Amino acid sequence: MTKLSVNINKFATLRNSRGGNNPDVIKVAIDAQRFGADGITVHPRPDERHIRYNDVREIKKIITTEFNIEGNCTEQKFVDLVLETKPHQVTLVPDALGQLTSDHGWNTILHKDYLINIISVFKNAGIRVSLFVDPVIEMIETAALTGTDRIELYTEGYAKEFIINKEKAITAYISAATKAKELGLGLNAGHDLDLQNLKYFSQNIPWLDEVSIGHALVCDAIYLGFENTIQMYKRQLQ
């Protein structure tokens, strides 16, 4: 079954908006695991506007499931943090400094040589690497040449089109996922997946390894409860 990794950034955003330590993101990580999450995802940014670098260090101490750190590997501070904490997986995202949220995948053709070098740094440390990419065949073919273990399909385009035409929305993603499978790449997905569109996505790409979901899941948890929401998301992946 596809694994659910819960991105807890939004809990840190709430904490930081008021100061103090409420909610406690370490307890959030512990509870997410206890409530059935298959993994925890964090995305520390240089300005630490949500997850802080020290949060990552503290979460590593208590993690009992898979730990996935997302971020911009062109920032040396991020690279150093990943090598220090050694998560199970690092997801490389081409964010610009100060970017509100991730909104595009890597141009693996343009950045091929750079990606080969940085991926080898993480793999030599025993860390699985996933590259954030758009559902474009050429980008996936070149991703396979970089040495990455997995790709993560950027799914905002799917989520937007889903409410209009779900068959059209999934087409490019099936093609991209099929190509990744042919090339021997593991497959993750994330961004704007929710209780409405997740099941259809996973049913059409049953070899999907993992989804990383944060914003929608946290929003649902406000109304439905954190434990209940995690279980509802997992049911969509069955």
Please list the active-site residues. Answer: 43, 70, 191
User: How far apart are the C-alpha atoms of 14 and 155, rounded to whole Å?
Assistant: 25
**Alpha-carbon distances, residue 186 vs 115, 130, 157, 182, 201 (angstroms):** 17, 8, 21, 10, 16
- For strands 66-71 and 39-42, give the pairing: parallel
3-state secondary structure of 90: strand
Burial of 100 (0-12, 13-18, 19+ CB in 10 A): exposed
DSSP at 33: H
Residue with the two structure tokens 């008021």 = 18
Identity of residue 31:
D
3-state SS, residue 131 = strand
Cβ partners under 8 Å of residue 202, min gap 6: 2, 208, 211, 236, 237
